[in-house]
Amino acid sequence: MATKEQIRHDIEQVAAQAEGFGFVVAINDRLPYVGVDLVPDEDEGRPGELDSVWFAQGEEAQETLDEIDAMAEQFNTEREHCLLYKLDSAGVLSDFGF
């Protein structure tokens, strides 16, 4: 079984790779909504455009926020990193070539 520090390392590693790939997290606690977009390669010639990867609002977003906030606290890391890790574990990011 992985230790807390190993899981934290895995979360940070996935998040760093995902951010380097171009994934961007947007969180709004007041509405609430949570989204992940992908900034296209400069070679695609679409400056300023984003590809929507995953989005939740309302109750689904609040459940996701509660989950990633608890995870961030447990593993002492950023909630955005936990979201990227969660989506990667679910295979969502791989649909976009990650």
Interatomic CA distance for residues 5 and 67, integer angstroms = 19
Three-state DSSP class for 43?
A: helix
Quick: pLDDT tens for 33-68.
Answer: 999 999 876 665 555 677 899 999 999 999 999 999
Strand order in the sheet with 51-57: 23-28, 33-38, 51-57
pTM beyond 0.85:
yes
Q: Domain ranges for the chain, please list them.
A: 4-92
When pLDDT is cut at 50, 70 and 90, the band that residue 4 belongs to is very high
